[in-house]
């Protein structure tokens, strides 16, 4: 169980009111037919990539989205096939997720992909252990992911191997910890302002 703000436990509800109910995600693959164009994407990828069964841990369709859970060592191979053969020309970034309760798979990287040619969207997801948080960079596949990988490194501590310049992008270089992880302390961080003053309330701008 993880503690949220104001002592919320387990549900992910950080408001303190305890009204949020978290639905557990299915551990296995979704059953066919997936629906929409998802079956075509899975079939096309399987035909184009002989190592499909070894690279894809599971295929999940949930809330109208297709997610391919990829082994990290196969990520770049799968990404190249998706870009060059299935025409997913754009990766919209990478999002970090922290699940402290998933032992050995605490950190996830999620990549939303867009095919402008086919007007299709899918997602890739890679899971790694907190103690071995290394994932291959996809910057050479989708150059626009450069700063997105830096932000995910900064906020979650995922190390993107092969990135051309993996440094913090939001926090100072000497910052301790990764602020969007669920085990990061909330509040109590001193903020230093240089060369700025805050006027008294009576002199602040009014929006009435």
pLDDT in tens, 40-57: 999 999 999 999 999 999
Confidence of residue 94 (pLDDT cuts 50, 70, 90): very high
Dihedral sign for Cα atoms in the order 49, 50, 51, 57: positive
- Residues 6 or more apart whose Cβ sits within 8 Å of residue 57: 69, 70, 71
> Of 171, 164, 65, 59, whose CA–CA distance to 121 is shortest?
65
Q: What are phi and psi of 20, to 5 degrees?
A: -85, 130
pLDDT of the residue at 79 = 98
For residue 141, with 0-12 CB atoms within 10 Å meaning exposed, 13-18 middle and 19 or more buried, which class applies? Answer: buried
Confidence of residue 158 (pLDDT cuts 50, 70, 90): very high
Confidence of residue 4 (pLDDT cuts 50, 70, 90): very low
Q: Which residue has the higher pLDDT, 127 or 9?
A: 127
Element (H, E) at 52: helix 52-55
Q: What are phi and psi of 91, to 5 degrees?
A: -105, 125
Residue 67, strand partner residues: 60, 123
What is the fold, at CATH topology level, of the domain defined by 23-203? Beta Polymerase; domain 2 (3.30.460)
For the segment 28-38, the average pLDDT, to the nearest whole number, is 93
pLDDT of the residue at 185 = 80
pLDDT of the residue at 21 = 59
Tell me how far apart the alpha carbons of residues 93 and 88 are, in angstroms, rounded to a whole number: 13
Residue 157, pLDDT > 80, answer yes
Residue 23, pLDDT > 80, answer no
Residue 71, pLDDT > 50, answer yes
Give the β-pairing of 107-115 and 90-91: antiparallel
Q: Report CA 205 to chain centroid distance, whole Å.
A: 38
Residue 1, pLDDT > 80, answer no
Q: Which residue has the higher pLDDT, 99 or 198?
A: 99
Least confident of 106-110, 162-166, 174-178: 174-178
Angle formed by the axes of helices 75-84 and 38-48, nearest 10°? 110
Across the chain, what does the average pLDDT equal? 87
Q: What is the DSSP letter of 138?
A: -
Q: What is the DSSP letter of 5?
A: G
The verdict on whether omega for the bond into residue 169 sits within 30 degrees of 0, i.e. cis, is no
For the segment 88-101, the average pLDDT, to the nearest whole number, is 97
Residue 80, both tokens: 């190249």
Tell me how far apart the alpha carbons of residues 142 and 183 are, in angstroms, rounded to a whole number: 31
Least confident of 12-16, 97-101, 144-148: 12-16
């Amino acid at each position: 169980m993880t503690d949220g703000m104001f002592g919320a436990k387990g549900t992910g509800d950080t408001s303190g009111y305890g009204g949020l109910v978290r639905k557990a995600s299915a551990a296995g693959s979704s059953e066919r037919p997936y629906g929409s164009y998802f079956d075509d994407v899975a079939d096309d990828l399987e035909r184009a990539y002989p190592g499909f069964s070894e690279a894809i841990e599971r295929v999940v369709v949930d809330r109208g989205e297709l997610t391919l859970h990829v082994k990290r060592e196969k990520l770049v191979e799968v990404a190249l096939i998706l870009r060059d053969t299935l025409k997913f020309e754009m990766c919209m970034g990478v999002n970090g997720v922290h699940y402290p309760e998933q032992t050995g798979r605490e950190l996830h990287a999620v990549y939303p992909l867009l095919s402008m040619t086919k007007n299709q969207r899918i997602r890739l997801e890679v899971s790694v252990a907190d103690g071995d948080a290394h994932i291959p960079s996809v910057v050479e596949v989708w150059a626009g992911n450069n700063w997105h990988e830096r932000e995910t490194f900064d906020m979650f501590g995922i190390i993107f191997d092969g990135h051309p310049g993996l440094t913090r992008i939001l926090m100072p270089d000497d910052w301790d910890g990764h602020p969007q992880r669920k085990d990061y302390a909330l509040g109590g961080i001193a903020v230093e302002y240089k060369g700025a003053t805050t006027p008294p309330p009576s002199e602040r701008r009014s929006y009435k």
